[in-house]
A and B are shown apart, each in its own frame.
Chain A
Amino acid sequence: MSSASGTNSASKPASTRAKPANKAEAAVDWVDGRLGLYSLAKANLRKIFPDHWSFMLGEICLYSFIIIILTGVYLTLFFKPSMAETVYHGTYLPLNGIKMSEAYASTVNISFEVRGGLLIRQIHHWAALVFVAAMFVHMMRVFFTGAFRKPREINWLFGFLLLCLGFFDGFFGYSLPDDLLSGTGIRFMEGAILAVPIVGTYIQMFLFGGEFPGTDIIPRFFTIHVLLIPGIMLGLLVAHLILVFYHKHTQWAGPGKTEKNVVGMPLMPVYMAKAGGFFFLVFGIIAAMSAIATINPVWAYGPYRPDQVSTDAQPDWYMGFAEGLIRFMPGWEISVWGGHTLNLGVFIPLMIFPLVLVAIAVWPFIESWVTGDKREHHILDRPRNAPVRTAFGAAWIALYLVLLVGGGNDLFATHLHMSINTITYAVRVGFFVVPVLTFIVTKRWCLGLQRRDKEKVLHGRESGIIKRLPHGEFVEVHTPLAQKDLHTLTAHEQPQPLELPAETDENGVARKAGVITKTRVKLSEGFYGEGNQIAKPTTEEYHEITSGHGHH
């Protein structure tokens, strides 16, 4: 805002900037004058990104999400979200003359008459599976390396919400074609809603616009599937990425890498080329997969009818978790408050499902509360160096797998030639036992690995060379580690457990620790107390042993 420009603007240019060298520069100058492009790009064009293969897991999530949106828009151009009855007369002869909903008929049309429609449908569904799977693995990466710690807790929550929304949007999308399988899924949902005490029947009536199945559920799901949930997800995703940019990536410990720097390659050109190229790799692979492997062949299932069912009634794998809960739960139904029915057999699984998820969501807060650690963390933990966290994560995965077995108990029964009852009983026991066992085994395994690291630091690496000493003894020569390896192996921190405050304060007045403080100390003991981590080698230990070697 130069004051001169107002008075004699006709004769003088308003800006004192040198003339742009070419058309391109001139165009960018124009944009900068409106949007402040240069200041924006200054910090970011050569922004450093560390390189590690596991960072691509998040990229796969992002790219498959974009693919889902692109193909989804295409599908909405042909799909009719209507439950109006129609009789099919199309090119797919087995269904000819059969009564079905517009939704199902248009899905069959997309598959057989719209050129490329089948491909786009398959890409859409495959990308959705890849999306959820990648979110899972990405989340595990973040969890097991402790990348969720301050300042990234909020981004952990954003990611967590994206996972949950991904689950539900997947379910809604799966339900839309109104085929026999998807209708069965909706029926399942209706039964679950009815099991909610007091308000269950009201929610059911309002959601379905009357009794099951009515004619409203598909159009309503359609709006939720293509507008409501993706809209929220898009917002969360942008926020997630802004935070990733703002926080900068985490990195592994190693020579030259500290909590105060980030080492890697610049955004332009290396990371741009790699990340941009990776989008095409993911898209290309999903397209090829869709050409080769058929997924959700709705034409084979037939239109939905509430009194019919196909035998392989299975949800997509990520819902197998919920399916497992509902299958292994005993059918408890009790009568409460004078004649009301509480369907615990469905309601308890319905509640466990979000509880398990929430336990994961709040983990960062639990961990920082237990450590009392308020600092920022940018160096990743090797999973072995945080045994309790790693064991907890492994227990969670084990629980998930147990439930997946429960959800596919019929498949396991037929493939393993076992009684379905045996499998269900095993899952009931396994639900409680397997996570605990996994926890214990994982923790011990981590401690073993820590011990091995310590051994390596103090005694070096086994060289495979056997040396015979003058007095006849055989020893294996150990090569000492280079300083960069010594540093990498000892760079991790080892938090100490919290201690109870002194019984009396400095004035000698008795001070009682509250229950909360006591639990916190107990938990902290469980995390970092004796037996829960192996003390790192000290400089003294190292010198003692290495100088000892010299005397040989």
Chain B
Amino acid sequence: MSENLPEAHGASHGTDVATHGDPFADPGLPAHEPRRTDIDERAAKRAERQVSLLFVVSMLATVGFIASYASIDADKIVYIFPLGHVSALNFALGMTLGVALFCIGAGAVHWARTLMSDHELPAERHPIEADDDVRNDVIEQFKTGAAESAFGRRKMIRNTLIGSMALVPLSGVVLLRDLGPLPEKKLLHTGWVEATANKPIKLVNMNTDQPMKPEDIVQGSLTFAKPEGLEESAEDFQQKIAKDALMLIRIAPEDIKDTKSRDKGFEGILAYSKICTHVGCPISLYEQQTHHALCPCHQSTFDLADGARVIFGPAGHPLPQLKITTDEQGFLVATGDFDEPVGPSYWERPR
């Protein structure tokens, strides 16, 4: 190690380009500077006590952790400034665990920094690359092995081996087939497809579970609806509601700009799919002054007075609209499915 001290090797050590008298040459490792704890035994003793104290605090904290676990109820809520109302157990366990762990770490680091040797030592590096002898030797061995296998000579074996190795992973891919059904036409239709002119399906209020009459829909409000018969307890409720959910709004008929859209509605009541055509979030924000609906996920904005045209944001096409009317009893019903698939678009989606 002594040859790394500045006096021992002069200015030219360490760099390839250094010449004698080069002001930029590497002067070599600086001499070691002792710390206080190296020369003052009292300081060293103090450091020792500090380290031990940290370890003792850790022990106490672990005891505190166990005591908290045993004595604090899981549902106890306390007020702690400035955190607010927090779970007492969570706070006690986390703080005691935190202190127990932190003090071990702090003790160890303090020990290393004050009492363990802080002599910097150099170690040599060796190039990662093998030298030429080893390299040539290995290549020679490999060639011998390859020649003995006759891999290069027996072309038929080689080619069929490559072929079989290339094909065998396909089994793995094929085995994944039963993960799910084929898409077929599943994304094309929603639950409303069951509705026909002879057998219409009632629109049911999502919150009250009651069928609705046109007079229930207030101008400027947003109402959510589902098809009659879709119960929340149904096995596939989640899957159904992901496509069937409707939002109903009422706009003064003369304010509806798109006539086709007006015709699909009933006395200014329009039923749009609630599922955003971007990537499928439910739309929940409605601005009654402008008739704009906003998707909270990526802020696609649809003009409901104009066929739910996209006026801002990343959605690529308007919200599908469901044609509605009333039945003999005056309830709002649908007599068929949406004209186009609801939700995010996909390759097979007709345009």
On A, residues with C-beta under 8 Å from B are 47-48, 85, 91, 99, 112-116, 118-119, 122-123, 151, 184, 187-188, 190-192, 194-202, 204-214, 216, 246-248, 255-266, 269-270, 273-274, 276-292, 294, 304-311, 313, 323, 326-333, 335, 339-346, 376, 378, 409-410, 420-421, 424, 457, 483-484, 486-487, 490-491, 539, 542-543, 546
Minimal beta-carbon separation of B314 from chain A (angstroms): 5
Tell me which residues across on chain A come within 8 A of B94, comparing CB atoms.
119, 122-123, 287-288, 290-292
Q: Are B121 and A306 in contact (CB under 8 A)?
A: no
On B, residues with C-beta under 8 Å from A are 4, 6, 11, 14-15, 19, 22-30, 69, 74-75, 83, 86-87, 89-95, 97-109, 111-113, 116-125, 127-128, 176-177, 179-183, 186-187, 206, 224, 226, 232-233, 238-239, 241-243, 245, 274-275, 278-282, 284-285, 296-300, 310, 312-317, 343-351
Q: Are B116 and A281 in contact (CB under 8 A)?
A: no
Residue in A151, A214, A263, A291 whose CB lies within 8 Å of B98: A291
Residue in A213, A255, A269 whose CB lies within 8 Å of B28: A255
Whole-angstrom CA separation of A260 from B340 in the bound complex = 69
Q: Are A274 and B27 in contact (CB under 8 A)?
A: no
Q: Are A539 and B29 in contact (CB under 8 A)?
A: no
Known: A210-B180, A289-B98. 13 other contacts (CB 8 A): A191-B343, A200-B347, A210-B186, A216-B180, A255-B30, A261-B122, A261-B125, A265-B118, A280-B106, A284-B101, A288-B98, A290-B94, A308-B284
Q: Are A483 and B109 in contact (CB under 8 A)?
A: no
Residue in B28, B112, B176, B279 whose CB lies within 8 Å of A188: B279
Residue in A187, A330, A424 whose CB lies within 8 Å of B281: A187
Most chain A beta-carbon contacts within 10 A, residue among B15, B26, B107, B182 = B26
Tell me which residues across on chain A come within 8 A of B109, comparing CB atoms.
273-274, 277-278, 281
Q: Are B282 and A308 in contact (CB under 8 A)?
A: yes
Tell me which residues across on chain B come within 8 A of A486, comparing CB atoms.
23-24
Tell me which residues across on chain A come within 8 A of B123, comparing CB atoms.
47-48, 248, 261-263
Q: Which residue of B lies closest to A280 (CB)?
A: B105
Tell me which residues across on chain A come within 8 A of B350, comparing CB atoms.
339, 341
Tell me which residues across on chain B come within 8 A of A310, comparing CB atoms.
296
Given A263-B121, A331-B316, A345-B316, A122 contacting B281 (CB threshold 8 A): no
Residue in B177, B281, B347 whose CB lies within 8 Å of A309: B281
Given A190-B279, A306-B238, A487 contacting B24 (CB threshold 8 A): yes
Whole-angstrom CA separation of A270 from B121 in the bound complex = 12
Residue in A112, A122, A305 whose CB lies within 8 Å of B238: A305
Whole-angstrom CA separation of A116 from B261 in the bound complex = 56
Tell me which residues across on chain A come within 8 A of B87, comparing CB atoms.
118
Whole-angstrom CA separation of A339 from B347 in the bound complex = 9
Q: Which residue of B lies closest to A279 (CB)?
A: B105
Across chains A and B, which 3 residue pairs bring their CB atoms closest together, nearest first? A291-B94, A191-B279, A277-B108
Q: Are A288 and B102 in contact (CB under 8 A)?
A: yes
